[in-house]
Amino acid sequence: MRGAMASAYTRLRRLTDSLQDPEKVARFQHVCGVQSSPSHEQRDSQEAAGDGPARHRRHHNGLLENGAARCTEQEKMQPLRRNSLTGEEGQHFVIRNRLLYYLFTLGTELGNELFYISFFPFWIWNVDAQVGRRVIVVWVWVMYLGQCTKDLIRWPRPPSPPVLKLEVFYNSEYGMPSTHAMSGTAIPLSLLLLTWGRWQYPFFYGLIFAMVWCSLVCLSRVYMGMHSILDVVAGVLYAILILVVFHPALDIIDNFNLTYKYAPLIIISLHLALGIFSFTLDTWSTSRGDTAEILGSGAGIACGSHVSYMLGFLKEPSPDTLPFIIPPITVTLLGKAMLRVLIGLVVLLLIRAVMKMITIPLACKVFGIPCDDVRKARQRMEVELPYRYLTYGMVGFAVMFIVPYLFTWVGLH
């Protein structure tokens, strides 16, 4: 018995080591047409041996100059991309397959802030607010637990070389598990589970759509050089586990957020406490700001839902009207949807800009932190937590209450 367990452990260890091998990531990138700039391969090898600048300073994209390599029509020269929070920049690379580059860039954007601030409001304003609220509950917990797990496990991202880093912003974070893979699994699966039976559509098509979404996000993280295969697999399994736990409780959570008298106080306190806890796990990285943004957004959405429901603006359909039938796509329908998105996103971006202008200087003043260098000030817990939490809490509140009220006022509801 003990020997069988030891043998199983050995096989599992070999499997995890194989899935964590950075050479596999590098080979996948090479097969997909990602190659190092020839003029910089020697420099990268020197840095790998410790002869060049610190490798963590080279984990970002660079500009491939005209004379650096012979580019064919299928190659894509990449502009310099800099991490706006750390100022780091680095590797030069050549893209020899534009289609895959754009496809996987789209895939990785499905897990970034621009997608979230566009997709969730679009769904809430134009498709189904109830489903949107519940998907956001799943998303908040998946992302929060994923970010905290990263800081507890503290496994680094794949080393470079041999891996080429095509993305710059998240390189300061740890790699295990991939939160992109977690969100790329949880969002489409929860959409499928929450809409099936509520909307009329073939389940098979919904399942295929969810699988394509998940696969595109997961493969994009390996393509970008940001995660090992093991990071991605662990992220998918972890998200499924969280979804299994939280999905049965979504009705209770959503009903509590809408109807309980003191729900906003409990919601704000809980999300704030979780944010403070996550900020004490490790040294600064971009995961701290992301965690505060996610928690603030979740709290704002929940509080906005509560206010809308209490004021009678949020009306749930009668069970007799279910399942919904997908309406025919007409010019009028598309026009109203695009107008809602345009007006709504303008309002959200204005709110975010104003809150950012207010909260950062205010937090610096309250805690006596110099605000001359905004980048360094934002990395302080005393500034980053209130700035991110309050700003995105207000954005979330606007998504569920301010913007829908505006739509009612101008006749777009």
Catalytic residues: 180, 227
Bridging pattern class, strands 199-200 and 324-325 = parallel
Q: List Cβ neighbours of 11 (8 Å cut-off, separation of 6 or more).
A: none
Round to whole Å and give the CA distance between 349 and 100: 31
Helix orientation angle between 263-279 and 286-310, rounded to the nearest 10 degrees: 180
- CB atoms near residue 91 (< 10 Å): 25
Place of tokens 């710059």: 168
SS3 state at 345? helix
* DSSP sequence for 133-181: HHHHHHHHHHHHHHHHHHHHH-PPPPPTTTS-----TTTTS--SS-HHH
Strand order in the sheet with 76-77: 34-36, 93-95, 76-77
Q: Where does 311-330 have alpha helices with state H?
A: none
Alpha carbons 110 and 88: distance in angstroms, whole number: 24
Burial class (CB in 10 A: 0-12, 13-18, 19+), 280: exposed
Q: Would strands 34-36 and 76-77 be described as parallel, antiparallel, or unpaired? A: unpaired
